[in-house]
Amino acid sequence: MFIFGRSFWTVVSTSQDARFYAVSARFDPFSNEGKPLVIQFTVKHEQKIDCGGGYVKVFPSDLDQADMHGDSSYYIMFGKNTYK
């Protein structure tokens, strides 16, 4: 997996098909009380896949990132699925 950039725009390029990848980053606590919360990402699958997807998850602040896995508790999850 290759990660390009660490600013507003970050690009992740994976090297193997049919494999799970994860990238995580902590951010400072904030409040959006009284304001909408907007979380956005773009995914482009360049390989032909029958089943899979790309997702964003927002985890609790006490998540141990070294132990992050598919069953870790999260607050928000969304993304694009591809099934043929």
pLDDT of 41-75, one tens digit each?
Answer: 887 777 777 777 788 899 998 999 999 888 999 99
List the structure tokens of 11: 């690009």
Count structural domains, the chain.
1
C-beta separation of 49 from 14 below 8 A: no
Pairing status of strand 2-4 against strand 76-83: unpaired
Domain containing residue 33:
1-84
**Per-residue pLDDT tens over the stretch 7-51:** 556 677 777 777 778 888 888 888 899 999 888 888 777 777 777
